[in-house]
Amino acid sequence: MATSDRIDVKKTYKLYINGEFVRSESGRSYELKNKTGKFIANPAQGSRKDLRDAVTAARAAHSGWANATAYNRGQVLYRVAEVLEQRKNELITAYTLETGSTQSVAQKNVLAGIDYWVWAAGWSDKIATVLGSTNPVAGPFYNFTAPESLGVVANFPIISGGFLALSATIASTIVTGNTSIVVANEKSPLIAITLAEILATSDVPNGVVNILTGKDSELQPWVASHMEIDGVEASGLNKKSLGELKIAGAQNFKRIAYFKNSTDYKEIERLSAFIEYKTVWHTVGY
């Protein structure tokens, strides 16, 4: 059979919620076009109800993930890097499709992203040592401070950072035990969903990472007001959206972090952004 006779197998890009690939509850999708206006795909356009479902999943997954040992979380993140390495060509293809960049630029970005997972995996069991402390106190107490995860975090990755920024925002959020809801940028959904497909076949438990595609301007107000989302990494939002997020997020004491674009994103502030510090006063026996 000549190749031209073959019917195209077109891919339906879905949302990634609780380890499952689902269409948007709203039934909507939108047209993704490249810079020259050529049609690329119809990714799902997530709605507030999809966000709600993602939050439910992320909350349910949190205690299991946060209570896993740091060593185990590090292994899981490293496993992600292993699977990414095997499937990097899918990511490079998605990156070139979305950005129109050359193969070599795409490859550089994707490989840096994979390396980021390794970097974050290495931090997993060292964060407590670096950010925690034993505190001198005036009394017969052994006093120490340990970092713990904040909870459910929503991530708006910086679009210009490509796969590297996407990896940085997710890996640095979950390595400390948080669970994540990623709202992929409207112009960059394919690489996010490709990553989701890779996460689904690695060892990341269901619900620890959830990826929504759609319009961040539509989802941002629901992220901001949702009482069950504890923190937001807002790096990918524009000034207006960020301002609205801060106002609405103040209502429920959301922690909001904003990071500027970076060359490698390997900043400890990213790891410490969504951490709660627990200080323990332990009596010292005589």
Partner 1 sequence: MMRINIDSTPSSLKSFLNELPKVDQVGAAARAAMLATRSIKNDSKKKAIDLAISMVDLTTLEGSDTPGKIKSLVTKALHPDPSNPDVPHVGAVCVYNDMVSIARAELDRIGGQSIPVAAVSTAFPSGRASMAVKIQDTQDAIAAGASEIDMVIDRGAFLSGDYKLVFDEIVAIKDICGQKAHLKVILETGELVTLDNVRKASYLAMAAGADFIRTSTGKISPAATPPVVLVMLEAVRDFYNTLGIQVGVKPAGGIRTTKDAIRQLVFVKETAGDLWLDPRFFRIGASALLNDLLMQRMKLQTGYYAGRNYVTID
Residues with Cβ within 8 Å of 255's Cβ and at least 6 positions away in sequence, in order, are: 150, 230, 231, 232, 273, 274
Nearer to partner 1, 130 or 227 (CB): 227
Nearer to partner 1, 19 or 221 (CB): 221
Which residues 6+ apart lie within 8 Å of 36 measured at CB? 100
270 touches partner 1 by CB under 8 A:
no
Stretch that binds partner 1, among 61-69, 84-92, 121-129, 220-228 (CB under 8 A): 220-228
Contact region with partner 1 (CB under 8 A), list: 8-16, 51-59, 142-150, 233-241: 51-59
Q: Does 228 bind partner 1 (CB under 8 A)?
A: yes
E-strand ranges in the chain read 15-17, 20-22, 32-33, 39-41, 133-135, 141-149, 152-155, 179-183, 209-212, 231-233, 255-257, 275-283
How many residues are listed for the chain in this entry?
286
Copy the structure tokens of residue 124: 């997993």
Q: Which of residues 120-139 bind partner 1 (CB under 8 A)?
A: none
**Site for partner 1 (CB under 8 A): which residue of 130, 137, 227, 250?**
227
Of 28 and 59, nearer to partner 1 (C-beta) is 59
Closest approach, Cβ 40 to partner 1, in A, equals 32
> Which residues fall within 8 angstroms of residue 42, CB to CB, at 6 or more apart?
12, 13, 29, 30, 31, 32
Binder of partner 1 out of 17, 32, 41, 55 (CB under 8 A): 55
What x-and-dash track marks residues 241-260 binding partner 1 by CB under 8 A? ----------xx--------
Token code pair at residue 91:
């990511």
Nearest to 186 by CA among 91, 44, 66: 44
Task: Determine which residue in the list 73, 88, 226, 270 makes contact with partner 1, applying CB under 8 A.
Answer: 226
Tell me how crowded residue 157 is: count the other CB atoms within 10 A of its CB. 28
Of the pair 55, 184, the CB lying nearest partner 1 is at 55
The secondary structure of residue 205, as a DSSP letter, is P
Residue 225 binds to partner 1 (criterion: CB under 8 A):
yes
- The window from 1-9, 72-80, 194-202, 226-234 that contacts partner 1 (CB under 8 A) reads 226-234
By CB under 8 A, what part of segment 59-78 binds partner 1? 59
Within 10 angstroms of residue 241's Cβ, the number of other Cβ atoms is: 19
Nearest CB to partner 1, comparing residues 180 and 194: 180
Three-state SS for 210? strand
CB of 227 to partner 1, least distance (A): 4
Residues in contact with partner 1 by CB under 8 A are 52, 55, 59, 222, 225-228, 251-252
